[in-house]
Amino acid sequence: MGTDVLSLRIDRDLLERLREQAAKRGMSVQDYVVRTLVRDDFDARFQAAVEETERFYGVP
């Protein structure tokens, strides 16, 4: 698996909140944001799988 660069322009207040949340977890802002994105992506894929399973079994 390779890596790429994503550059963001964000509000100063949001960056400060991200710094605070990352610091609470002993993480860098970059690691915190990536972890959050990965978790959100997993949640979306999991929900899609649940919906597909429900359609397969005919659950309303």
- Let me know if residue 11 belongs to a domain: no
- Let me know if residue 49 belongs to a domain: yes
- Could you give the 3-state DSSP secondary structure of residue 42? helix
Residue 51 is encoded by which pair of tokens?
Answer: 């919906």
**Count of the separate structural domains present in the chain:** 1
Q: Whole-structure pTM over 0.75, yes or no?
A: no
**Which structural domain, as residue segments, surrounds residue 43?**
29-60
The crossing angle, in degrees rounded to 10, of helices 29-57 and 12-24 is 80
What are the tens digits of pLDDT across the range 32-42? 999 999 999 88
- Let me know if residue 15 belongs to a domain: no
Q: What does residue 9 show for φ and ψ, rounded to 5 degrees?
A: -115, 115
Average pLDDT of the chain to the nearest whole number: 91
- Cα–Cα dist 58/48, whole Å: 15
3-state SS of 48-59 is HHHHHHHHHHCC
What are the tens digits of pLDDT across the range 1-59? 688 888 989 999 999 999 999 999 999 999 999 999 999 988 999 999 999 999 999 87
- Let me know if residue 24 belongs to a domain: no
Q: What per-residue confidence (pLDDT) applies to 60?
A: 67
